[in-house]
Amino acid sequence: MTVPRYTRLIQSLPASVPFVGPEEQERTRGAPFAARLGANENVFGPSPKAIAAMQAETLEIWKYGDPTSFDLRNALAAHMRVQPQNILVGEGIDGLLGYLVRLLISQGDAVVTSDGAYPTFNYHVTGFGGIIHKVPYNGDHEDPAALFAKAKEVEAKLVYLANPDNPMGTWHAGTVIAQALNELPEDCLLLLDEAYVEFAPEGTAAQVDVEDPRIIRMRTFSKAYGMAGARIGYAVGAEGLIRNFDKIRNHFGMNRMAQTGALAALNDQDWLAQTQAKVSQARDRISRIAGDNGLTILPSATNFVAVDCGADGDFARKVLAALVARGIFVRMPFVAPQDRCIRISCGRPEDLDLLAEALPLALAEARK
């Protein structure tokens, strides 16, 4: 029997994916989760105006989406105070990460990231044959100075940095990022993932000229705008970079309902403000639940909270497993010492009531 002639690169890759989805876990355990608090989804949902716009657009679903995302790009440009040619829309940040890596990384090219940072980026780099170099977190924060020093050492073409960070929820002031850019080596690009920036304190977004060739930033409608299932994100960068980015993206990859919904969501900033308030309340509630059980939390600028379980990763994994067994879907960082924590997404009051009931039982089971 013959088989396809796979490339050597593909044959060398592990048969793995960055995340096992909650649906797969539900199938494995034979029951749905009672509280879905692991994927950093926005359980408060999108603007009703976005839902109405997407429902109306179903009548036009026989058409392809606008390959230029013209209306959305122009609205995003106005929102970001840049030009439309500085914006590129794609299939969530995950999709945009893949396109950017394809644009820049060939086999053997060096890339720098933090050890334990967002694994989907690493997945794309490995898939295109890049060589990943990692630096540790510094006090549960990604370390721009160490990242850029490593980039200089290995002659990296690309550096990944999330601000605010996933999985820890920590953040740097935008001025820190802007100042650190002066240490980025020549011909190296900073990929700044700002998926959670709408939840962060004012001043977290770095004030860098959009035409600065050293940086590309990525944002999404999956988090604060509550549209994770729509898969729509956007990149903001220098016109030349975006023009080259446009050469290799999937031009018909955008669902037209998602385009319409994102535009309506962007235009409903009142709903965004309500969501931000609910997330803040939920973070406070998670902090109280943790404190009631003798645990501490890391201050968060995201829609999740990293809860320090007070021991090592093995103990935290036991806590996580006990929560999952009780129908509470949560996740945790992968790398020590950050893996001493479990990561809990902000939920509705009824979700967090279930967490409050389950956490002491999970901790007791883990301590046996």
The answer to whether residue 3 scores a pLDDT higher than 90 is no
CA-wise closest residue to 304 among 341, 256, 251, 357: 341
Asked if the peptide bond before residue 337 counts as cis, ω within 30 degrees of 0, the response is yes
Query: Which pLDDT belongs to residue 310?
Result: 96
CATH for 48-267 (1.10.240.10, 3.30.1120.10, 3.40.640.10, 1.10.10.10): 3.40.640.10
Q: Read off the pLDDT of each residue in 323-348 and give the average, rounded to a whole number.
A: 97
DSSP 204-250: -S----TT-TTEEEEEESSSTT--GGG--EEEE--HHHHHHHTTTS-
pLDDT at 1 over 80: no
- Alpha carbons 329 and 41: distance in angstroms, whole number: 12
Per-residue burial over 174-211, b = 16 or more CB atoms within 10 Å of its CB, e = otherwise: bebbbebbeebbeebbbbbbbbbbbbbeeebbbebebe
**Residue 329 above 90 pLDDT?**
yes
Q: What is the pLDDT of residues 24-60, one digit of tens each?
A: 999 999 999 999 999 999 999 999 999 999 999 999 9
pLDDT tens-digit profile of 188-210?
A: 999 999 999 999 999 999 999 99
| Predicted TM-score (pTM) above 0.85 | yes
- The boundaries of every CATH 3.90.1150.10 domain in the chain are 19-45+270-366
Taking 80 as the threshold, does the pLDDT of residue 160 lie above it?
yes
Phi, psi of 61 (to 5 degrees): -70, -10
Helix 269-292 vs helix 256-266: crossing angle, to nearest 10: 90
pLDDT for 232 beyond 80: yes
Please check the confidence at residue 14 and state whether its pLDDT lies above 90.
no
- CB-based contact 343:296 (threshold 8 Å): no
Tell me: pLDDT of 179 over 90: yes
Rg (CA), the chain: 21
Q: What is the mean pLDDT of residues 342-350?
A: 98
User: pLDDT > 70: what percent of the chain?
Assistant: 100
Mean pLDDT, all residues of the chain: 96
SS3 of residue 163 by DSSP: coil
Give the pLDDT confidence score for residue 20 in this predicted structure: 84
For the ranges 5-9, 216-220, 239-243, which has the lowest average pLDDT? Answer: 5-9
Q: Give 256's pLDDT tier (boundaries 50, 70, 90).
A: very high
Q: Determine the pLDDT at residue 13.
A: 84
Kindly indicate the confidence band of residue 117, based on its pLDDT and cuts at 50, 70 and 90.
very high
| For residues 303-322, average pLDDT | 98
Mean pLDDT of 340-344: 98
pLDDT for 359 equals 98
The pLDDT confidence band at residue 18, using thresholds 50, 70 and 90, is: confident
Residue with structure tokens 């370390």? 143
The architecture in CATH of the region 19-45+270-366 reads: Alpha-Beta Complex (3.90)
**Bond prior to 164 in cis (omega within 30° of 0):** yes
* SS3 per residue for 254-294: CCHHHHHHHHHHHCCHHHHHHHHHHHHHHHHHHHHHHHHCC
Strands 304-308 and 296-297: antiparallel
Q: How far is CA 329 from the centre of its chain?
A: 18
Query: What pLDDT, on a 0 to 100 scale, did the predictor assign at position 16?
Result: 75
- pLDDT at position 37 is 97
Give the confidence band of 326 by pLDDT, cuts at 50, 70, 90: very high
CA atoms lying within 13 Å on the CB side of residue 76? 27
